[in-house]
Chain A
Amino acid sequence: MQNNENSYLFKFAWKSIRRNSGRSFFIGFSVSLAVLIAVWVVAFFDGLNFQIEEAVINTNTGYYQLQEPNFSKSTESSTPLEFSKYSKLFNAPIVSYSPELVLDGNISTPEGSTGLVVIGIHPPLHTKFLPIQSKIESGEFLTAEEDGPIVIGAELASLFDFKVGDQIVLNFQDVNGELRSELLPIKGIYHFNSKSFEKHFVYIGQKTWQRIFFKKEMEKILFNRIPIMTRGLGDESVIRNRFKDSDVQIKTWKNLNPEMAVVLEFHDGMIRFFFVIIGITITMTILTPIQMMWQERLKELKMLNILGASNRKFWKIGIFEVIQMIIVSGLFSCFLLIIIIGIQSYTGVDFGFLNEGVSIERAGIQLPTIIFPQLTIQQLLITFAFVVFVLTVSYVWSMYRTLKKLEVEL
């Protein structure tokens, strides 16, 4: 019997919505549109943040870096650790990693001079970590066996007019603190990431690095740091736990690039603030139409009450109406979101006009002009939750006011 009554009231609620179909559509549409806009902005910033984060981790930074303690304190390169002692720890959620030796050097030519970060890599591991091998625009990338050649960035090559096959004079301080120079042939020129990255990051093999810094090869893979890629910063606790008994220091990309970390935090903060404002605005603006819709029914409710329908029944009808409006609005919003963001996450949105068409670098990172909004399950849930909140608050408040008035009139 109860089920029959609920089913009847549910149908009655639907008829009430359809009776004033224009107005109901308008209310539902207003809510959907507001929610759509708000969530699209979230998706846009999610996409922007993702792209910024990708750009950062691809500056040979990784999501995390395991750093040898002296290197961590003062970028001291002379006390590297042996990679073999840690190699067993590099399984899931670690996706890729690259044990690296790092040296501050510089080159000096008649055209000028510039500081360099000379990274000694084990190519088979490094190519899984960073796709520089596939970004070589002339020459080739390094292989594991060779000793001697260097791979430089296109910006550096352009500044000093270097070509594949040229020799560069690398100046540096060796393990004893002596200033030394080394002639290294250019094997390849890469074009990847930002101009700042291309200007400062050069790659040599581990053998070459050990030979020029230690004056001898160690016949093993050493590291000052190991940048690693995982699924994201959500794996931090797993990583820290895994390496807690070792003597390496763990830093996230946010520790390594605090300026861009703050940019992302700022975006997140702005979005939360924006969402709250939109939520309040839309609730206030649809409250009146919903209230008016309910107040128009006062006469009708009075008549139904005379026939025997109690306040409880009216509340049920109202709740059923809310549920139906939520379903329709929520589904409509989600549907539009999937279509719009689905397309834009593929084509991207050109926001070059916000940057005046100029591609710019900040803190060594190339900021994107074409942004790919990201559609996530979380956003769809937020959409739905938003719709639920706005409609429930408006309907419940309007019902309460109307039924209170009805009580007075009866």
Chain B
Amino acid sequence: MNGFLYLVKFSYRNLFRVPKRTLIMILSLSLGCGFIIWDLNFANSGSREIMKDFLSQYAGQYQITHLDYYNPKNKKEFNFYKTFSDDELVDKELIKLSTPRVNAPVFLSGSRKTLGVLLTGLMVEKEKRLSTLYKAITVGKFLDPNGNKEIILGKKLSQRLNVNIGDEVAAIGQAIDGSIANDLFKIVGLLDFGGGDLEESLAFTQLKSAQEFLSLPPMIYHQRVSFDMDSEALPILTKLGVSSWDELLPEIGISIKFIDRFTWIVSFIIVMVVSLGLSNTLMITFFEREHEFTSLNIIGAKTNWITASLMIEVFLMGTIALILGTSIGYAATSFFNSHPINLEIFTGGKPIIMGGITIAPHIRLYAVPKYFWQVPLMIYFFLTLTMIYPLIRVISRSKNAI
């Protein structure tokens, strides 16, 4: 043990041989580490925040439906006739945390045009409590919880139908019993999703109005939508279907994963680039001491001992750098937690639209614990690779010198 401690002490001392150079190496490594941790936290937080914002406006974290409501092969298709009642939902807590909706594809007619849209009936008070849909109203007002036959439309839809606040639109569709459903609805508000597709294809009314329109009894719904963004686990239900947001919107989920994976690729590249320079510097550092290694060997230090001292030296430097790097990463993440980043700097000021909805561009960063060990581990791995070649070269040259 004494011998090993001496070896560590000897290796540690070598870090101070050329302090400035060691400092630059440590700084390169620590800044690289800090940046990668920050970058991963940025990508992760960005994804989380964007998804939270996106999902809380309309789609929700997950949906409870009849088992056969969604086409299992293509969740963009749904069977309008498959409804369920709250009696089938045993867990009353789920009822508390979710809001019910009914959906019907209808034709809305304005003065001179008829367009197909999805009419959704909302439980207004609960919807206002759980989702942020009401914040998208920029003209008029949100639905009155006690009102009847009110409708809010996307701005683009109102333009296409050539209708405005106060106008009436006729809705024609199919009721649950197969009969033709038709009614008049009064426009009370217009939704602005930043020009995204959903502005043309969505309309909302009170839940009671929609149920009456579709001849649905009260307490019978198509969906229960949960906006519990912090819950990762989905409820397990035997009689009903549960669909998470990434099943319903796979393109969004995969776009997010693309960014996550791309960030890891960028991190890999940065570590590789840093490792190249480090390898070069280590080689020069080791070569400088060749003569000294020969002398040490003459005195009685074996090749293994010299190799071990060099390896410990590199690992000590790496450890110092990575402790510093994780601190820098944490500090940077914390800073951007209290000073959110505006994603519009990447889009030249243009609003970010995802899945047809505008996303709030300010992202608050959160530290993800796993990155604080994954990144250092990756860097240690590269550090080990980095020093293999310089070690082999210098040891073989020393042997030849002897």
Contacts and interface: CB of A to CB of B under 8 A. Distances in A.
Physical contact A–B (CB less than 8 Å): yes
Interface of A: 23, 26-27, 29-30, 33-34, 37, 41, 73-76, 78, 104, 106, 113-115, 172-173, 177, 179, 258-259, 261-262, 265-266, 269-270, 273-274, 277-278, 281-282, 284-289, 292-293, 354-356, 358, 360-364, 367
A23 B277 CA distance: 11
B: contact size bracket: 35 or more
Given A281-B28, A282-B277, 15 more contacts: A23-B283, A33-B276, A74-B160, A74-B161, A75-B113, A173-B114, A179-B114, A265-B348, A281-B273, A285-B277, A286-B277, A288-B281, A358-B250, A362-B252, A362-B355
Query: Interface SS of chain A: helix, strand, loop or mixed?
Result: helix
B28 A354 contact: no
B284 interface: yes
B64 to A, nearest CB: 24
Given A259-B197, A285-B28, A265 B277 contact: no
A41 B276 CA distance: 19
Nearest to A29: B276
Contacts of A289: 277, 280-281, 284
Contacts of A262: 347, 350-353
Contacts of B113: 75-76, 104, 173, 177
Interface stretch (B231-239, B261-269, B329-337): B261-269
Nearest to A274: B266
Nearest to B259: A270
Given A113-B105, A262-B352, A265-B346, A285 B276 contact: yes
Contacts of B28: 281, 284-285, 288
Contacts of B114: 104, 172-173, 179
A363 B356 contact: yes
Given A269-B346, A278-B270, A281-B32, A173 B112 contact: yes
22 contacts: A23-B280, A23-B284, A74-B159, A106-B107, A258-B196, A258-B351, A262-B347, A262-B352, A265-B348, A266-B347, A270-B346, A278-B269, A282-B277, A285-B277, A285-B280, A288-B21, A354-B261, A355-B257, A360-B250, A361-B251, A362-B252, A363-B197
Interface string B20-32: 0100110110011
Contacts of A259: 196-197, 353-356
Query: Interface SS of chain B: helix, strand, loop or mixed?
Result: helix
Q: Which 3 pairs show the lowest CB-CB distances between chains A and B?
A: A285-B277, A269-B346, A115-B116
Contacts of B35: 277
B255 A73 contact: no
B85 to A, nearest CB: 25
B345 interface: yes
Interface string B295-334: 0000000000000000000000000000000000000000
A306 B261 CA distance: 58
A253 to B, nearest CB: 14
A26 B386 CA distance: 13
Contacts of B272: 37
A273 B42 CA distance: 13
Contacts of B355: 259, 362
B163 to A, nearest CB: 10
Contacts of B95: none
A289 to B, nearest CB: 4
A354 B273 contact: no
B350 A265 contact: yes
A23 B280 CA distance: 8
Interface centre among B113, B196, B352, B355, by most chain A C-beta atoms within 10 angstroms, is B113
Contact of B162 (A27, A74, A363): A74
Interface centre among B114, B252, B261, B345, by most chain A C-beta atoms within 10 angstroms, is B114
A286 B284 CA distance: 12
A292 B281 contact: yes
A173 B172 CA distance: 14
B39 to A, nearest CB: 8
Interface centre among B112, B160, B350, by most chain A C-beta atoms within 10 angstroms, is B112
Contacts of A367: 251
B51 to A, nearest CB: 15
Nearest to A254: B350
Contacts of A27: 280
Contacts of B348: 265, 269
A104 B107 CA distance: 11
Contacts of A266: 343, 346-347, 352
Nearest to A174: B112
Contacts of B279: 26
A30 B196 contact: no
Contact of A288 (B25, B162, B252): B25
Nearest to A31: B276
Contacts of B258: 354-355
B195 interface: yes
A286 B280 CA distance: 8
B257 A354 contact: yes
A362 B255 contact: yes
Contacts of A78: 112
A392 B4 CA distance: 44
B254 interface: yes
Nearest to B268: A37
B278 interface: yes
Nearest to A292: B284
Interface string B271-291: 011101111110110000000
Contacts of A284: 24, 27-28, 31, 277
B347 A285 contact: no
Contacts of A360: 250-251, 254
Contacts of B25: 288
Nearest to A283: B277
A288 B274 CA distance: 12
Contact of A34 (B32, B276, B343): B276
B240 interface: no
B194 interface: yes
Nearest to B359: A262
